[in-house]
Structure 1
Amino acid sequence: MTAAQIYQRPFGELLRHWREHRRLSQLELSIQAEISTRHLSFLETGRARPSRDMVLHISEHLEIPLRERNHLLLSAGYAPAYTESPLDSPQMTAVCETIRRLLSAHEPYPAVVVDRGWNLVDANAAIGLIAEDVDPDLLTNVLRASLHPEGLAPRIVNLGEWRAHLLGRLRRQISLTGDAELGELYAELHGYPCDQPEPEIELPGPGDIMVPLRLKHSSGRELSFFSIVATFGTPLDITVAELAIESFYPADPGTADFLRDAVPDRTVS
């Protein structure tokens, strides 16, 4: 669905869409948001017009992303509340500097920054240890680079397991945001070939505590990583809210030693 189509939908229709998307009844939402079921029903049917504060209030209780909150405001006849600042704008200087410090401090371990669509925003130098020989065109999108047959996929030892993990994360993101473009990305990725079984449910094997990324390196060794995803905790700008920093850590001593040797000037505690 295009932005123009979203803006043309009445507020009540969008509100009902998000309530049903969150699998809430009118009664459940009215209790959570502390408004009457009657008033909520009137809002959904168009018999009542919401105030600006009411749109934001309900959006908060439905945990609607900032971008979609703006859509709701526009559909109700109000100006957007949340800005979307380019990363190269002056007000984003502090954010970009913070990201660069985090990326640099994480070396010699790899780290990337992605936007809502998993497009690569920034990365540290160590990511080259993972992404060696990957087509630069594929590297513009992290998920595409990971699962494409001309990307990392042929070097991922546990491709079926890692692919199922990434697609599961993407499904959960689609469920949260309702983003049609992410749905298209999911369909594309799901169509990529995979010659390994893909678990429907992630269950640990003996001694497993998380899903690792096991990767064949050109040196002939196998590198093993786990990752941590961080987001900004108090975003009031759409761009900031949609950024995610994924930091990779060695999952075994051999990988840690290899990374330290690859960037000898770094001291890792």
Structure 2
Amino acid sequence: MSGAAERTRGEPRTASILRQMRVALGISQLELALRLGMSQRHIGFVELGRARPSLSLILSWTRETGGTIDERNAALVSAGYSPALLESAPAECRQSAEIRTLREMLVAHEPYPGIIFDADWTVRAMSEGGQWLCSVGMPGLLEHDGVPSSEIDMITAVTHPAGLLSKVVNAAETGRALLRQLRLEQLTRPSLKARVDRFEESLTARYGAAGKCARAPGDTHLKVILDTEYGQMTFLLVQTVFGLPQNVTQKSLRSELWFPFDDATRVIMTTRRRLGLAAGNQSTKQVMR
């Protein structure tokens, strides 16, 4: 086997991705070198996998060749760097194509609860089913703070005495499962620490320092049982991240979809939608019973 063939067979994925960007634009190595202000020889070495591109070179290369965010992040990840996604301001985030797509997903998930939240655990969008469940599961918190359902601090929502855990039957293990997840996220997002500390203090005060955790580290699903005025409701919660694997960062928006775990919960949620049930409506409560 020739040396050229060996280099082709063994060249890093990064080199292949970068070369494809240049070829797709239809420019030569020399033209790209002039645009980037470096030698053609270095461009050639990068495309052969003989030189490792720097972070700044990958970003510049992508910009000059018109590469997509997906291609850029694929090149970054394969070269050993973290994906580079700009963190949008909340107002911009809500108007982005990503949040519009996620809102459509929430609509498709009706009549069941679903939320979209960010890395700070602030709700950015919520389904109608989710808003209804908030009014049933933590009416004391919403009445006390007057917080719109689209701006709920999810950590506060479980820390507050009148928050969601006040209605959860398996509150101790649910709270500890959430605490474990938050402590792991805190390792790379220290800004969460103060709120997570308060949450842990509230759990200890309510349920003691030790106890069973409902899931293993890294799991993002959870079974939650709610004791409501409409009856006991059991849900399976599943968290997911939207986007291609190379685009996912800690700043990526996440979804949490609640699926009915039994027929009784399914009936309550579907009846709520059909009758336009609102919390506090005595007549519809009687119909469901």
Matched, 1:215 2:195: no
Q: Is the 8 A contact 1:85 1:238 kept in 2?
A: no
Q: Is the 8 A contact 1:83 1:238 kept in 2?
A: no
TM-score by length of 1: 0.60
SS of equivalent residue, structure 2 residue 264:
helix
When the two chains are superposed, the root-mean-square deviation of aligned CA atoms in Å is: 3.8
In structure 2, list runs of 5 or more residues that go unmatched: 1-52, 60-72, 277-289
Q: Is the 8 A contact 2:177 2:215 kept in 1?
A: no
Cross-structure match for 1:226: 236
Question: How much has 1:130 moved relative to structure 2?
Answer: 2.3
Equivalences, count: 196
Write 1 or 2 for the structure with the bigger share of helix. 2
Deviations 1:234-269 (A, max 9, x none): 378899942110000111111011111111289xxx
Distance 1:265-1:231 versus aligned 2 partners, 3 A rule = farther
The code of the aligned residue for 1:215 comes to L
The code of the aligned residue for 2:232 comes to E
SS of equivalent residue, structure 2 residue 182:
helix
Distance 1:54-1:189 versus aligned 2 partners, 3 A rule = farther
Cross-structure match for 1:86: 89
Q: Is the 8 A contact 2:117 2:255 kept in 1?
A: yes
Distance 1:196-1:240 versus aligned 2 partners, 3 A rule = closer
Structure 1 CA distance for aligned equivalents of residues 154 and 260 of structure 2: 19
TM-score by length of 2: 0.57
Deviations 1:151-197 (A, max 9, x none): 1222111110110111111122223x2x2111222111111155336
Residue number among 155, 161, 174 corresponding to 1:143 in the alignment: 155
**Any residues of structure 2 matched to 1:14-163 within 5 Å, and which?**
51-53=54-56, 60=77, 82-86=85-89, 88-89=91-92, 93-132=96-135, 133=139, 134-135=141-142, 136-137=146-147, 140-163=152-175
**Any residues of structure 2 matched to 1:176-255 within 5 Å, and which?**
177=188, 179-193=189-203, 194-196=205-207, 199-202=211-214, 211-219=222-230, 221-234=231-244, 241-255=251-265
Structure 2 CA distance for aligned equivalents of residues 232 and 109 of structure 1: 19
